Amino acid sequence: MWFAPLFRGQTWRELWVAIRRLRRDARARAFVLRFLALVAAAVYSAVLVLSFAASFFHEKAVIAVSSIIFICLLSVFVVHRWNDRREARASPPVVSAAVQREMHREAFLLAILLNRAGSERMMEKELPPGVEVVTRRHQREQLVRFGLWDDLASPLRDLLLLPNGHWSDEQKSTAESCWEFFIVLRWVMRLDDSLRSLDRTPSYDLVKTRDIIGRYEVLKPGDTLAPWDLRPVRDEAYLHFGRLWTEAVARGLVAKGVEPDHREEAIRAKGEIDADGASNDLLIDAQTVSELSDSSLWFLLRAAIRRWEIVNFLIPWLSEDQPDDQLRLFWSKVLSA
């Protein structure tokens, strides 16, 4: 239906961003004008229908007709979405049961890692008297109970064996860089309906890690996304990574491994983007990449790299029959880099 965008959360998020950028971005002004035209058309159509109904019915009947129309429209969207999800879950699984079981296991291990990193961050603050942190002991007990402790990758085991509150800042930051691995796995496993777009600043929630830890025993092979569902996400991640990397190299934030001619090319590309104005640059929330602070740029660049790495790995891997430990080897190498 032509008015369907009005019922999408993404449309309203984009409208809020556009309103904040009205003065300096032609794209934002064009989007707001299109949105207002759509709203005007929807209001005009509703008024036209109600006026037509009023010419044939009494006032109470018009109110009843209006309510019925609203309920019908709402029902159409709810039923349509429910049917899409039901059909997706009813279709034969494209991904083998062995691959799905490995995804469950690695998502659980990532949840353990990220939960411990969150505990380490919490311990940076002064704890109330008498509070004992038992994260290390509790996690080891869980891993032993599920038979996973002896098979842990060495870098992960070494981290988890450190006493509570003894992770370095570098170890915390490295572990937290695995958030994108975790949320992509949750999305592929259909535990989340959608995956955050990279044009929004990441916001990670330990509730999602505790959810995986709490339900690990009951996770069963069944429904998951197919490899081809991930290709648009890989393309988006590559686009964001390329733009953010160019900006970081041009600002001198990345020095190691960058050849002088590559740096000159990045500076030239950044100059061309800046000369074109804000209307042609990539948007992250309400800021263009050029407007980002150095710390925000670095944070977003790392998220884009991790997103691209995991999705690019998963696309061929999801077609395997017997995956062995490839996924664990893939993500745990980040901890020893």
pLDDT at 144 over 90: yes
Query: Does the reported pTM lie above 0.85?
Result: no
Q: What are 108-117's pLDDT values in tens digits?
A: 999 999 999 9
pLDDT at 3 over 60: no
- Where are the chain's structural domains? 4-90, 97-192+203-223, 229-312
The pLDDT of residue 254 = 86
Query: What is the dihedral angle through the alpha carbons of 149, 317, 216, 82, rounded to the nearest 10 degrees?
Result: 170
The pLDDT of residue 282 = 87
The pLDDT of residue 112 = 97
The pLDDT of residue 52 = 64
The pLDDT of residue 131 = 78
Mean pLDDT of 214-231: 89
Query: What is the dihedral angle through the alpha carbons of 293, 299, 300, 302, rounded to the nearest 10 degrees?
Result: 140
Helix (H) / strand (E) element for 221: namely none
The pLDDT of residue 75 = 64
The alpha-carbon radius of gyration of the chain (Å, integer) is 25
Give the integer Cα–Cα distance in Å for 83 and 77: 10
pLDDT at 90 over 60: no
Mean pLDDT of 162-179: 94
Residue type, 3: F
Q: What are 253-298's pLDDT values in tens digits?
A: 887 778 888 889 999 998 888 888 767 788 888 888 999 999 999 9
Higher pLDDT, residue 307 or 276: 307
